[in-house]
Amino acid sequence: MIILLTLLCLALLVIVVIQIGRVSEMAGLIRGEEDVQNDSNYWNSRLGLVFMVLFLIGSVASAIYYKNYMLGYGPHEAASMHGIAMDKLFNMTLFFTGVVFIVTQIVLFWFAYKYRGIEGRKALHISHDNRLEIVWTAIPAVVMAILVVFGLNTWNEIMQDIEPGEDYVELEMTGYQFGWIARYPGEDGVLGSRDYRQTSGINPLGQVWEDPANHDDMHTNEIVLPVNKKVKVRLTARDVLHSFFLPHFRVKMDCVPGTPTFFVFTPTKTTEEYREELSKYPEYQVREDPNDPTSPMLWETFNYELACAELCGTGHGSMRMVVRVVEDYEYRAWLRNQSSYYLTSIRGSDHDPFRGEDLEIDGMDDAGEPGEMEEESTDETDEEDEYLSEVSEEDDETETE
């Protein structure tokens, strides 16, 4: 019934438009074409000014209304060190383009009004104006030069690699249709080598198991990063072009099959700190499920998120992964809880080139640590153990509920 009514309304609208056209034609025949054209020019030029005012007000108002969601203001300021520079560049670009946008719209509609067709008026033909051409060439050239200089400086600042001897966290992200595989190095701090020809169901990354550096590498179903510490993400793809996108950190880099890339950034806000920021804004002081009064508040459910920003197929929208930023001791505790992919999925199987042989990696315990490790500081170990104990208790409570 709704579809039928909609079709009837559309049909009536078409009929009304046709009838208006016929009435205009009849008016033209009665009053004369020139009078009708002058009348049309008069009203269209004035209505154009009204539209301009409403359009500019609507554009500015919508930008202000959606700035926290779409433009990275309010609670969604950059949560990374380099993101601050990117936001400054964005604000500068927005300022210049915003001024040009408003000025050109005003000039466009004002010219349509001022130089509308009027009976007896003749248009002037001006072949060229050197002064005007210099002005409209010089001003855009200067603005573009400013944006390019600041853009290059920001680019050079962002695309720095890790300095020798610098403390950082490294991981590898591989995109595939339609998901992500996160790989962290083990105790040796080295990611093992890969060979795409060895990719299979049991070996999704094509890791070369003859390389001992692969034996302690870990596959995880989430990305966990320490706050205020540099992170180097190695990026690649297994099939088609993907794009590694962390909007809250202002990180975006393509993942290209056969062409590894990387990005270095430093998270500056933990997930909990970001949630606290969101809790100060009324739009996040609502229930996650409006129909369930017992559901958590919207700010409590926030998580950083990895998404694919390159249309890569029908399941593109499902390429999401949770990103958690935590304190350093929480990160180390989480890392201790991860297991070597080689030990849990390959060791002792038909795919293991060292089947039946004793390896040093066999001395690792269930948490993925070697049997003999260098002693960590007591305070750090106590913090990690306390954190793991709290996590375990929360999991037990959740299971009980």
Which pLDDT belongs to residue 124?
79
Q: Do residues 237 and 178 touch, judged by C-beta distance below 8 A? A: no
Evaluate whether residue 400 is within a structural domain.
Answer: no
E strands along 195-293, which residues? 218-220, 223-226, 230-237, 242-246, 251-255, 261-265
Evaluate whether residue 247 is within a structural domain.
Answer: yes
Q: Are 193 and 112 found together in one domain?
A: no
When mean pLDDT is compared across 255-264, 327-336, 350-359, the lowest value belongs to: 350-359
Q: Are 235 and 145 found together in one domain?
A: no
Percent of the chain with pLDDT over 90: 57
Evaluate whether residue 275 is within a structural domain.
Answer: yes
Which pLDDT belongs to residue 395?
52
Which pLDDT belongs to residue 3?
82
Q: Are 176 and 60 found together in one domain?
A: no
Q: How many CB atoms lie within 10 A of CB 175?
A: 27
* Mean pLDDT score, 15-24: 77
When mean pLDDT is compared across 46-55, 91-100, 143-152, 352-361, the lowest value belongs to: 352-361
Evaluate whether residue 103 is within a structural domain.
Answer: yes
When mean pLDDT is compared across 65-79, 203-217, 247-261, the lowest value belongs to: 65-79
When mean pLDDT is compared across 14-23, 193-202, 383-392, the lowest value belongs to: 383-392
When mean pLDDT is compared across 1-10, 248-257, 300-309, the lowest value belongs to: 1-10
Q: Are 181 and 254 found together in one domain?
A: yes
Domain that holds residue 75: 31-118+132-158
Work out the pLDDT band at 115, boundaries 50, 70, 90. confident
Q: Is 196 exposed, middle or buried (0-12, 13-18, 19+ CB in 10 A)?
A: exposed
* Mean pLDDT score, 146-152: 92
Q: Are 224 and 289 found together in one domain?
A: yes
Evaluate whether residue 382 is within a structural domain.
Answer: no
- Which pairs from 204-209 meet CB under 8 Å and 24+ separation? 204/174, 204/176, 204/238, 205/174, 205/181, 205/238, 207/341, 207/342, 209/342, 209/346, 209/351, 209/352, 209/353, 209/354
* Mean pLDDT score, 205-226: 94
Percent of the chain with pLDDT over 70: 87
- Asked if residue 149 has pLDDT above 80, the reply is yes
Q: Are 273 and 137 found together in one domain?
A: no
Evaluate whether residue 380 is within a structural domain.
Answer: no
Q: Are 186 and 154 found together in one domain?
A: no
Residue 152: which H helix or E strand, with range? helix 130-158
Q: Tell me, what CATH number does 181's domain have?
A: 2.60.40.420
Q: Are 185 and 279 found together in one domain?
A: yes
Evaluate whether residue 392 is within a structural domain.
Answer: no
Mean pLDDT (the chain) is 86
Tally of domains within the chain: 2
Q: Are 69 and 154 found together in one domain?
A: yes
* Mean pLDDT score, 211-216: 93
- Asked if residue 1 has pLDDT above 80, the reply is no
Evaluate whether residue 15 is within a structural domain.
Answer: no
Q: Are 297 and 197 found together in one domain?
A: yes
Which pLDDT belongs to residue 367?
42
- Asked if residue 354 has pLDDT above 70, the reply is yes
Q: Are 209 and 138 found together in one domain?
A: no
When mean pLDDT is compared across 195-204, 266-275, 369-378, the lowest value belongs to: 369-378
Q: Are 236 and 277 found together in one domain?
A: yes
